[in-house]
Amino acid sequence: MTKLPQRFSLESRRVLVTGATGYLGRAMARGLAELGATVLINGRTPERVEEVVADLRGMELAAIPAVFDINDEDAVRQWFAQNGGAPLHGLVNNAYAGGAGSIETAAEDDYRNSYEVSLVSAHRLLQHALPGLRAAVNECGQAAVVNIGSMYGMVSPDQRVYPGKRAANPPFYGAAKAALLQWTRYAACEFGGEGIRVNAISPGPFPSESVQASSPDFVSTLAGKVPMGRIGQAIEIQGPLSFLISDASSFVNGANLVVDGGWTCW
């Protein structure tokens, strides 16, 4: 039996991270790379992807650009046709795009767009990634998919912490993330038997650096709602994600690992 440090190692593993140019995505990619993975950096904008790749390579970490739009079925198919033959040991469905709002202010298309980028894209990517994931299972016994949900897929935002309905965390975001969590459980049951584990992480309050700098009062209010008395920092998503991608979580399947400082425990 391998020792625990070896089971956490991601040496010789290839992991695709979508939305890897964002605040949490960059931290996820770096954490995986620091454990030895070759991280495929996904994003729509070549310049931003190359920036992240260059940063990681500057730290002597392994990173490869994976420039395509996860919402474009043809682009996804083309990328996997060109790059999907090699084993893919991990897939992290992290990308999201959408605005703020409330039931009163949201448009119907907001729900459709949120559902598309959260759930339909995860479905699309898993389908196209299956040959690579199965090749990874044949190579080392397992592969892992991690879907990035949210605490707001579990509980409702407290609209009192926002300056108004148009600035609130929106209903379509939480609804799409709740759907993603259910899809995670379904996928875990469908593919677990062949060695492809599917789990989720639901982050809590992780406001971006720009929000932390521009809205300190809002950040303080968020911190006051967390039992630990503070917001999360991007590096604190690295450990939970690395655990679920690595062999250290070899019997964890269909789980939702909540990383919210206790927010959903109140």
The domains of the chain, with CATH numbers, are: 4-213+228-261 (3.40.50.720)
Catalytic residue among 23, 96, 173, 186: 173
Report the Cα 79 to chain-centroid distance in Å. 19
Degrees to nearest 5, angle at CA 3 with 239 and 38: 50
220 φ/ψ angles, rounded to the nearest 5 degrees: -65, -40
* Tens of pLDDT, residue by residue, the chain (266 residues): 789 999 999 999 999 999 999 999 999 999 999 999 999 999 999 999 999 999 999 999 999 999 999 999 999 999 999 997 899 999 999 999 889 999 999 999 999 999 999 999 999 999 999 999 999 999 999 999 999 999 999 999 999 999 899 999 999 999 999 999 999 999 999 999 999 999 999 999 999 999 999 999 999 999 999 999 999 999 999 999 999 999 999 999 999 999 999 999 98
Provide CB contacts within 8 A for 57, sequence distance 6+.
63
Q: What string of DSSP letters covers 171-213? A: HHHHHHHHHHHHHHHHHHHHHGGGTEEEEEEEE-----HHHHH
User: What's the confidence (pLDDT) of residue 97?
Assistant: 85
Query: What sign results for the dihedral spanned by CA atoms 38, 26, 247, 139?
Result: negative
Give yes or no: 173 in active site: yes
User: What's the confidence (pLDDT) of residue 1?
Assistant: 73
Give Rg (Cα) of the chain.
18
Q: What is the per-residue burial (b if ≥16 Cβ within 10 Å, else e) of 224-236?
A: ebbeeeebbebeb
Give the relative orientation of helices 121-140 and 73-83 as an angle to the nearest 10 degrees.
10
Read off the amino acid at residue 39.
Answer: V
**Cβ atoms 244, 7 nearer than 8 A:** no
145 φ/ψ angles, rounded to the nearest 5 degrees: -115, 135
Provide CB contacts within 8 A for 43, sequence distance 6+.
19, 20, 21, 25, 49, 52, 66, 67
Give CA–CA dist 95/92, Å, rounded: 9
